[in-house]
Amino acid sequence: MPPCIFCKIIKGDIPCTKVYEDKEVFAFLDIKPVNPGHTLVIPKKHYVNIHDTPDELIGKVAIVAKKIADAILKLGAKGVNIAMNNGVVAGQSVFHAHMHVMPRYGKDSFSLWVGKEYDGNEREKVAEKIRTSL
Ligand code: AMP
Ligand code: ZN
């Protein structure tokens, strides 16, 4: 595995534009923002994504994401998307867990998914599978 780029950022081996840091959580600006202020919030310790990050730590990351979202809103954003891509097919490209905090102003390159329809009783069957899998 090549060295993790976000671990290098935390170590200070490559530069970033830091917006927040505490003992366990770090946040910096995304180099290719949806809009200016698009921030990545990460655990300092390396985890791949949401699935292997301990519950308590992902909770701390989420709390920092909320704080940053509040700050962005105070600065004039009209809304904020908070998202986490987990796995290649979900669009994850950096395999160090991170939450995106994306300021929204109305017109930008970000587009949300278009929902599909369920067939017959597929919806109830899927819900039952998820309930059983929990
Ligand atoms: P994801 O596709 O969810 O894994 O998001 C990874 C994000 O990391 C992308 O939005 C990239 O623009 C961002 N990114 C990659 N390298 C850097 C870097 N060196 N500094 C800041 N952001 C980065
Ligand atoms: Zn890492």
CATH of the domain at 114: 3.30.428.10
Work out the average pLDDT over 81-95. Answer: 98
Q: What's the pLDDT band for 107 if we cut at 50, 70, 90?
A: confident
Ligand 2 center from residue 3 Cα (angstroms): 8
Which domain, by its residues, includes 105? 5-133
**Angle at alpha carbon of residue 67, lines to 58 and 70, rounded to 5°:** 135
- Residue 1's pLDDT is 63
CA distances from 19 to 42, 105, 113 (A): 12, 20, 29
In the β-sheet with 99-104, what is the strand arrangement from edge to edge?
A: 18-21, 25-29, 39-43, 99-104, 79-83
* Ligand 1 atom at shortest distance from the alpha carbon of 84: 3
Q: What is the pTM of this model?
A: 0.96
Tell me: the pLDDT tens digits for 17-75? 999 999 999 999 999 999 999 999 999 999 999 999 999 999 999 999 999 999 999 99
Longest dimension (CA), the chain: 54
pLDDT of residue 3: 86
As a whole number, mean pLDDT of residues 88-95 equals 98
Q: How many domains does the chain have?
A: 1
- Active-site annotation holds for 98: yes
CA of 94, closest atom in ligand 1: 4
pLDDT (0 to 100) of residue 109: 81
Residue 18: in which H helix or E strand, if any? strand 18-21
Question: Does residue 99 have a pLDDT over 80?
Answer: yes
Q: Whose CA is nearest to atom 17 of ligand 1?
A: 31
Average confidence score pLDDT of the chain: 96
Residues paired with 64 in a beta bridge: none
Three-state secondary-structure class, residue 30: coil
